[in-house]
Structure 1
């Protein structure tokens, strides 16, 4: 084949596509405010289970990923934080777009939970802990890492955070909530004082259905036994 023909074919052929590069599957999202689906699921779990347990109460506010504005100058452009989860007691339970101190009688959260991640862990353990201790005076502060399962809790004692010792099950008591916080199935959960798990609404519905099914089964067995004895259960 001639040199001219080779040059003609080379020009006619399209360039080869670059090799496909597949990124690693463990990259963390850098989009604020929640770092992964695990963090989102954990936040929803805390909110839904506490709201289910306290469904008849109207004297608290629980929120996740909501900004707290606390500027002494009453400016939303300065001095604000967004805890992953917090609870304020002794307030009105109603929807809010933010928690603004000067519109809420100066109330700070009674309890804060931060969900650690590679991006936030140092701030959650350091700067935020100082702010919650020295400025917010939040009575109880917990943090939990949904990946490593690191779990710690602190109670404000004479103006300083002191560690909350875990019980034999590794759970830490919240005097503010009158509940334990502990790890169950690799998730941070609430537990009643008797140690029973606080369910989500879906879990509660499933438990109730199981109870109803068991009750129906017992009734069916009793009716069968009565018929074997010649007794019509419908006449009882």
Structure 2
């Protein structure tokens, strides 16, 4: 459902503001978004070999025509939309205009910077939770609180959000993209925090580019060490063989003419 005044025409993403002028709440939010995007890109490229998907990071989703226009948008900290072109008419997206696209995000994530009231606000036409549940309607809505080292995930079932239960690994399964969402305690961009991250369905952490490069380096090193160990074993075997041949010759036996 997109709400618009009948007297207003429907603008596209090039005609709507791409910012509401607010500062990002803290220095952790952008690294958190980058971490989520970087690690899930290989998975999304598998799902969408045609490249038809988009990811928004603190980007506006316009769902209502208002004056000023930005009052009719929500700007999730992170969201993913399947089966839409990555750009429109050759231009980077300035925002995601719901009445232009018609496809809802599959998952929307909000990073709590206050006490969480804003992200759980169910006030009709104003509260984030209400707007996501009733208007934008992503099948999954996650609320991440770094201070509490927690994330809660809601799934849209029978037109209402129901709070999901974590699996045995303490994470939340997102079956349409074959991943789990949960908390990872570790260091990223020189900061030790409980970060929000993805795992695959087998419980393997989805790695970011630097981690993938390091994992590849370690695999190369393991292979080098294996090859070196094989070379040393072969060298030792050759030395033992040479000593045995020498002993045979000392006994008057030609090792090349053994029958």
TM-score range, shorter chain: 0.7 to 0.9
Aligned pairs (5 A) from 1:78-117:
78-94=71-87, 95-104=92-101, 106-117=102-113
Q: Distance in 1 between matches of 2:203 and 2:211?
A: 17
Offset of 1:151 from its aligned partner?
A: 1.2
User: SS at the partner of 1:142?
Assistant: strand
Offset of 1:110 from its aligned partner?
A: 1.4
The match for 2:254 is none
Q: Does 1:209 align with 2:247?
A: no
How many residue pairs are counted as aligned between the two chains?
199
Give the gaps of 5 or more residues in structure 1.
1-30, 232-236
Which of 198, 201, 207 is equivalent to 1:193?
Answer: 201
Q: Does 1:65 align with 2:58?
A: yes
User: SS at the partner of 1:204?
Assistant: helix
Give the gaps of 5 or more residues in structure 2.
1-20, 122-126, 186-193, 240-259
Offset of 1:117 from its aligned partner?
A: 1.1
**Normalization by structure 1: what TM-score?**
0.78
Q: Distance in 1 between matches of 2:141 and 2:208?
A: 22
User: SS at the partner of 2:238?
Assistant: coil
The match for 2:130 is 130
Which range moves more in the overlay, 48-57 or 191-200? Answer: 48-57
Change in CA separation of 1:169 and 1:32 when aligned onto 2, cut-off 3 Å: farther
- Runs of 4+ aligned residues of structure 1 deviating over 3 Å after TM superposition are 75-78
Offset of 1:170 from its aligned partner?
A: 1.4
Offset of 1:47 from its aligned partner?
A: 1.2
Q: Does 1:118 align with 2:114?
A: yes
Q: Distance in 1 between matches of 2:98 and 2:199?
A: 30
**Normalization by structure 2: what TM-score?**
0.71
Instruction: Give the RMSD, CA atoms, in angstroms.
Output: 2.2
1:5-63, Cα deviation, whole Å (9 max, x unpaired): xxxxxxxxxxxxxxxxxxxxxxxxxx934221222221111111112332353132112
Aligned 8 A contact 1:164 1:173 in 2: no
Offset of 1:77 from its aligned partner?
A: 4.8
